[in-house]
Amino acid sequence: MATIADKLQLVRGRIARAVSEFGRPPGSVTLLAVSKTFPAVTVREAVAAGQHQFGENYVQEALDKIAELADLRDQITWHLIGPLQSNKTRVVAEAFDWVHTVDRLKIAQRLSEQRPAHLPPLQVCIQVNTSGEDSKSGVAPEEALALARAVAALPRLQLRGVMGLPAPSPDPAEQRRQLQAVRVVFDLLQSEGLPLDTLSMGMSADLEVAVEQGSTLVRVGTALFGQR
């Protein structure tokens, strides 16, 4: 049976091949290991295999894991990649290093106010909704610039980029179109002078297309840890 170390090597290989195939600079794509639903011991195994960036979706589950892994705190960068309700912003501002899912100014303001003074600014991405579904989280592309400017002005947040979570599609062309739409928003914000370095998109099934479309951080769960 493949160990987590084996699977990390496979996924890093996929990323490296895509980076090379699409002419991206070596080392320009970071692997975020999505450990949601997997126990702390699994994260521990991945850290031992050299993985240090982890993504979690569910706030309470993540807080429990972060507490269990307190001895590894300085070896792990914790990213919240799931939806964030305003009643959870304080615990998130206290426990996480990154939040990828900022899609409303109110949430960003609370995170900035609640980020403890002894910690560095919380690193954040604006989540953009490119599927056009009203029910999905994420700011509409045409509202992303205004939100990004407001978030960038908050003192205890550092705006790093844009996050995209395309609706799953059996049609590769549709998948590519949505990833490209996230990229267009990222380019627009950069061209407006926002100093962004992170385009968070791509998962187990579509990381190659995401790298083709300019992703700098792919969020991979299933390909590393198995089916949830």
Ligand X SMILES: *Cc1c(COP(=O)(O)O)cnc(C)c1O
Quick one: 156 or 219, whose CB is closer to ligand X? 219
Is there binding between residue 210 and ligand X (CB under 6 A)? no
Tell me whether residue 108 or residue 163 sits nearer to ligand X (CB atom).
163
Q: Which amino acid is at 81?
A: I
Determine how many CB atoms are found less than 10 A away from the CB of residue 27.
9
Stretch that binds ligand X, among 86-94, 105-113, 134-142, 213-221 (CB under 6 A): 213-221
Q: Which of 11, 19, 66, 81 binds ligand X (CB under 6 A)?
A: 81
Nearer to ligand X, 82 or 156 (CB): 82
> Within positions 125 to 184, which residues make up the interface with ligand X, using CB under 6 A?
165
Block residue for tokens 């045409």: 142
CB of 52 to ligand X, least distance (A): 17
The string of DSSP codes covering 135-181 is TSSSB-GGGHHHHHHHHHT-TTEEEEEEEE-PPP-S-HHHHHHHHHH
Regarding 79 and contact with ligand X (CB under 6 A), the answer is no
Q: Element (H or E) spanning 186, and its range?
A: helix 172-191
Of 214 and 221, which CB lies nearer to ligand X in the complex structure?
221
Residue range at the interface with ligand X (CB under 6 A); choices 87-95, 129-137, 209-217, 220-228 = 220-228
Q: Is residue 14 within 8 Å of 208, Cβ to Cβ?
A: yes
What Cα–Cα distance (Å) separates residue 181 from each residue in 54, 125, 128, 135, 163? Answer: 25, 16, 9, 18, 11
Q: Which residues bind ligand X (CB under 6 A)?
A: 34, 36, 57, 81-82, 165, 203-205, 219-223
